[in-house]
Amino acid sequence: MASAVGAIGAAGAAPSESGVWSWITTVDHKRIGVLYGVSAILFFLLGGSEAFLIRMQLASADADLISSGVFSQLFTMHALTMVFLAIMPLGAAFFNFLIPLQIGARDVAFPRLNALSYWLFLFGAILLNSSFVFGGAPDAGWFAYANLTSSTYSPGDSMDFFTLGLLVLGISSLAAALNFVVTILNMRAPGMTLMRMPVFTWMALVVSFLLVFALPILTVGLIELLFWRFFDMPFFSAEFGGDPLLWQHIFWLFGHPEVYILILPAMGIVSEILPTFSKKPLFGYTAVVFAGVAIAFMGFAVWAHHMFTVGLGPVAIAAFSASTMLIAVPTGIKIFNWIFTLWGGSLDLRTPMLFSLGFLSLFIIGGLSGIMHAAPPIDRQQQDTYFVVAHLHYVLFGGSIMGLMAGIYFWFPKLTGRMMGEGLGVVHFWMMFIGMNVTFGPMHLVGIMGMPRRIYTYSEGSGWEFLNQLESLGAIILALGMIIFVVNIVRSLRNGEVAGNDPWDARTLEWSISSPPPVYNFDAIPAVYSKEPFWDQKHPELAQDKPPANAVAPVAEDPATIHMPNPSYWPIIVAFGAALMAGLVIVNPYLAVIGGAITMLGVYGWIFEPAGPEEHH
Amino acid sequence: MANLKNIRPKALLGLLAIALLPILAACSSTDNPLTTISPKSDVADNIQWLYKIIFVIATIVFIGVETLLLYAVIKFRRRPNDGIPKQVHGNTAMEITWTIIPALILIAISVPTWMTIFAIDDVPDDAYMIEIVGHQWWWEATYPDGQVTANEIHVPSDRTIGFNLNTADVLHSFWIPQLFGKQDIIPGRTNTLWFTPNPGTEGRYLGQCVEFCGISHANMRLEMIVDSPADFAAWTSGLESPAPAATALAATGYDLFASKGCVACHSISGRNDAVGIIGPNLSLFGSRLTLGSATLDNNTVNLTAWLKDPEDIKPGNIMSKSAPIYTNPDLALNDTEIDALVAYLQSLK
């Protein structure tokens, strides 16, 4: 992304805009978005490689390419990497880059906190992955069900890397979420009421609230797990009065909202792309927004559908079955509104649109298979089989990843000033779409044939051999598709077609400014009178809500006088101290004081850092 | 996308038929011992009934919605002279329709779902109760009259069978897909399951642990053998009075079983010295069809390989981690000793 770096740097007015130091100290939301995005794509490739190894081991019966122990580490780290280090930060990358641009603001509410969130994420991710080097990665599944995670059944440090790594990542996401909530609620341009916000920003707001409410639940669980392992506090130990099921309740009370944390950003993205490439407004904006909000609320009332087979009793599972099925109603509303956004439009099937349509067609499949195991008796046959693996990958790969890919192709020109290659993009799309279906489609069948999840081997005569071979072939197609994607990014950065401000004839504010945007985003804070201010500005005759007759056009400020926050190195110091503290706990809790001291030093420096040299009151 | 308009409905139906072939294959229990859609009991039939209802509804919705999407994409794709289309912002009547219709469909699904939940929940009072204990990575079964076996669980075909499920260590999940849906096993609580075999379903049924339980989770399988009442009676009485060691080699094995310390962990009915409870009970081992919790056929080659290097077959198992014959090179079994133990174990019929 070197030239993206240069491109954004060059457009800025302030000095010292390039070089490694400027990236370490940056508090610019666009650059932090780039940092999140590049890191997330690298972790996506890592998580994908882990999945690729899993698929190679399972390509044939009785294979011994990978040992059972390493296999357990791979499927655990694959899930943790994809959830916490790829899809969530990719969502954060879009939130960072787009929220201020879409609401007509110059930065997020707390720029240094934003930088802290990123560095905590990076160091937390490194801490989690360093376990591969220091004695073995977590290997009890990403859900880490007690009591397999106790110091009896998981001796060694692997589960401590899990707890402490996720704690650091949790602080990162929580800080970022609070930052986005405050930014969206307080920093919208004049006239942009909540019901005029772009749907992507709406979904960012919903996701941020979900994070604020869901992450503390996981944090409580992780601290209990930590205390159990370090100080023998038996929260999850049946023999000492604890309950292993308590962990499952805590984990899924976080874990189900987490699913919506992963999918809603993609839903926001396609809600921007479908209208743009259909040249029509989103069908039923209000319904789409409220359906997203409803999904978020209901997301907290369905967690026990992950626990239909643990023995909760018929009344409880009947109730959770009903709440789970209910969540299909707002999801269905969204799907039909998206389809009727296309209806009567003029559909331009370029790469962002292809990925959005891919999202739509695949997410439908994931939704319908979800209805099947929302029925607890059926779940008794499907739970923990490959049918569920198929379901969750249609939702998270077919849904989240396809949607995020659509977003990358869509906003890449805004970020870098250059278009991504359309030819390679189309090839990339079809390889992903076909590869995804060849990999995950047969998993429905092999799951119906009873293949359990998380097994490193299976016997000849199981009837699963051919379908597993097919799935592994699909993984190869996906891997090749990802190579094309990376090649496309590199080529487009170097010599992609110059984009201009508005290459897609788009509808929201970010397309009204230059590509890449200047450091201060808007020289004139825009005045907003409708849901699609930029489209209505281009086509005033078609606008539903028109500016009042006495509306005054916003006046541009002189860029030299626009005050932007100064760079700061304190966020990275605080983040380094916190992650070091977490890592040292594993070595020796007393040593953790060193990390704590660095954190305190960083916080001290942060507090007394002057807001800016030209500050004079 | 231009080629899409050339696809004819008949071709799509053909593709659908090809896609459905593997589904039909999944029904065959001979090719797919763990298939979930070849029910052989009342409980499994109940689940299958519900599955068929929801599968049909989901398939109709799938075809309907995807067709609508594909139609919209093809019909409204951009043409060279397209102007700006009409800016439609929504339609309240339509939006209410696609809120209410899915809600009605979901209610239609929920009713049979609830019926099935309650139909398969409580263990009937007259069930023949077997105690199951999950261990890392094998299964133990104790019958009402006190007989104990492991991994190959015989049940009679003429009555309702119930299970009390407990674990010796971590979470497991008990599942024989053709006979009943899975039930997780949680430390500190006793979960239950039950089923009644359908008439004429005597035979072998494969099962597997389906809650991740450590590095040999994949090797924690089991078989349930539905016997005719007469066969079952013969099997249980055989458990109580095993045959004596038949050959000289087996007699050597009998002695080695004690002198090499096997008796510390394994029980064999009829032997007062072999009462260990850490490992699987080996009574009637010679008549079992599989070994290593249903991972290998029970024959001389596999049994020899198992005794030689159990770690290779089932990574992490307690025997290879802690039995002196596997941890202390001085005590390791030589080939003659292994042959004798094989002969002895095979004589337990």
**Whether A196 contacts A531, CB under 8 Å:** yes
Known catalytic membership, residue A22: no
Known catalytic membership, residue A331: yes
- Give the pLDDT confidence score for residue A545 in this predicted structure: 83
- Give the pLDDT confidence score for residue A145 in this predicted structure: 96
Residues of A in contact with B70 (CB under 8 A): 361
> What SS3 state is found at B223?
strand
Which residue in chain A has the smallest CA separation from B212? A454
Facing residues of B156 across strands? B227
> What SS3 state is found at B275?
strand
Question: Which of A217-221, A441-445, B12-16 has the weakest average pLDDT?
Answer: B12-16
Residues of B in contact with A333 (CB under 8 A): 95, 98-99
B170 to A461: CB separation less than 8 angstroms, yes or no:
no
Q: Which of B47, B109, B186 is closest, CB to CB, to A381?
A: B47
Known catalytic membership, residue A334: yes
B219 to A245: CB separation less than 8 angstroms, yes or no:
no
- Give the pLDDT confidence score for residue B29 in this predicted structure: 73
Cβ of residue B219 closer than 8 Å to a chain A Cβ: yes
pLDDT at A605 over 60: yes
Known catalytic membership, residue A531: no
**Whether B263 contacts B276, CB under 8 Å:** yes
- Give CA–CA dist B20/B279, Å, rounded: 44
Cβ of residue B13 closer than 8 Å to a chain A Cβ: no
B87 to A141: CB separation less than 8 angstroms, yes or no:
no
B54 to A381: CB separation less than 8 angstroms, yes or no:
no
pLDDT digits (tens, 9 = 90+) for A524-560: 999 999 999 999 999 988 888 888 888 888 888 888 8
Q: Which of B24, B89, B297 to mutate to test the interface with A (most CBs of A within 10 A)?
A: B89
Cβ of residue A57 closer than 8 Å to a chain B Cβ: no
- Give the pLDDT confidence score for residue A289 in this predicted structure: 97
Interface of B with A in 236-275 (CB under 8 A): none
Residues of B in contact with A442 (CB under 8 A): 22
Q: Can you tell me the ipTM of this complex?
A: 0.93
B102 to A328: CB separation less than 8 angstroms, yes or no:
yes
Known catalytic membership, residue A453: yes
B82 to A461: CB separation less than 8 angstroms, yes or no:
no
pLDDT at A9 over 50: no
Active-site position among A39, A149, A173, A530:
A173
Residues of A in contact with B84 (CB under 8 A): 279, 346, 539, 542
- Give the pLDDT confidence score for residue A546 in this predicted structure: 84
Known catalytic membership, residue A439: no
Interface of B with A in 301-340 (CB under 8 A): 315-316
Residues of A in contact with B99 (CB under 8 A): 329, 332-333
Interface of A with B in 100-139 (CB under 8 A): 139
User: Measured between alpha carbons, how far is residue A396 from residues A2, A117, A507, B88 in Å?
Assistant: 29, 24, 27, 31
Whether the ω angle into residue A516 lies within 30 degrees of 0, i.e. cis, is: yes
Residues of B in contact with A364 (CB under 8 A): 62, 65-66, 69
- Give the pLDDT confidence score for residue B24 in this predicted structure: 64
Active-site position among A78, A350, A393, A444:
A78
Q: Are strands B148-150 and B221-227 parallel, antiparallel or unpaired?
A: unpaired
Known catalytic membership, residue A444: no
Which residue in chain A has the smallest CA separation from B68? A339
Known catalytic membership, residue A306: yes
- Give the pLDDT confidence score for residue A555 in this predicted structure: 86
Confidence class for position A18, pLDDT limits 50, 70, 90 = confident
Residues of B in contact with A278 (CB under 8 A): 76, 85
Residue A5 CB partners (closer than 8 Å, separation 6+): A18, A23, A31, A34
Closest by CA to A124, choosing from A155, A151, A84, A72, is A84
Give the tokens for residue B75.
């019909």
Closest by CA to A130, choosing from A572, A582, A574, is A582
B210 to A449: CB separation less than 8 angstroms, yes or no:
no
CB burial of residue A588 (10 Å; 0-12, 13-18, 19+): exposed
Residues of B in contact with A347 (CB under 8 A): 72-73, 76-78
Residues of B in contact with A159 (CB under 8 A): none
B184 to A458: CB separation less than 8 angstroms, yes or no:
no
- Give the pLDDT confidence score for residue A543 in this predicted structure: 86
Facing residues of B194 across strands? B162
Please name the amino acid found at residue A331: T
Interface of A with B in 543-572 (CB under 8 A): 544
Active-site position among A106, A334, A393, A428:
A334
The owner of tokens 């370029």 is A350
Q: In what order do the strands lie in the sheet with B191-195?
A: B148-150, B138-142, B128-135, B161-167, B191-195
Cβ of residue B113 closer than 8 Å to a chain A Cβ: yes
Residues of A in contact with B24 (CB under 8 A): none
Q: Which of A71, A347, A468 to mutate to test the interface with B (most CBs of B within 10 A)?
A: A347
**Whether A365 contacts A390, CB under 8 Å:** no
Q: Which of B36, B71, B99 to mutate to test the interface with A (most CBs of A within 10 A)?
A: B36
pLDDT digits (tens, 9 = 90+) for A41-83: 999 999 999 999 999 999 999 998 999 999 999 999 999 999 9
A284 to B91: CB separation less than 8 angstroms, yes or no:
yes
Residues of A in contact with B95 (CB under 8 A): 284, 287, 333, 336-337
Known catalytic membership, residue A271: yes
pLDDT at A455 over 70: yes
pLDDT digits (tens, 9 = 90+) for A242-301: 999 999 999 999 999 999 999 999 999 999 999 999 999 999 999 999 999 999 999 999
Q: Which of A348, A448, A460, A539 to mutate to test the interface with B (most CBs of B within 10 A)?
A: A448
B95 to A365: CB separation less than 8 angstroms, yes or no:
no
A467 to B110: CB separation less than 8 angstroms, yes or no:
no
- Give the pLDDT confidence score for residue B128 in this predicted structure: 97
**Whether A30 contacts A516, CB under 8 Å:** yes
**What distance in Å separates residue B131's CA from the closest CA in chain A?**
17
Q: What is the DSSP string of B148-170?
A: EEESEEEEETTS-EEEEEEESSS
How many CB atoms lie under 10 A from the CB of residue A611? 9
Which residue in chain A has the smallest CA separation from B1? A349
- Give the pLDDT confidence score for residue B19 in this predicted structure: 64
- Give CA–CA dist A541/A539, Å, rounded: 5
User: Measured between alpha carbons, how far is residue A469 from residues A60, B166, B278 in Å?
Assistant: 7, 36, 39
Each residue's pLDDT tens digit in chain B (349 positions)?
444 445 555 666 666 666 666 666 666 777 899 999 999 999 999 999 999 999 999 999 999 999 999 999 999 999 998 899 999 999 999 999 999 999 999 999 999 999 999 999 999 999 999 999 999 999 999 999 999 999 999 999 999 999 999 999 999 999 999 999 999 999 999 999 999 999 999 999 999 999 999 999 999 999 999 999 999 999 999 888 766 667 899 999 999 999 999 999 999 988 889 889 999 999 999 999 999 999 999 999 999 999 999 999 999 999 999 999 999 999 999 999 999 999 999 999 8
Residues of A in contact with B118 (CB under 8 A): 314, 318
A68 to B216: CB separation less than 8 angstroms, yes or no:
yes
pLDDT at A122 over 80: yes
Known catalytic membership, residue A256: yes
- Give the pLDDT confidence score for residue A613 in this predicted structure: 55
B95 to A287: CB separation less than 8 angstroms, yes or no:
yes
- Give the pLDDT confidence score for residue B6 in this predicted structure: 52
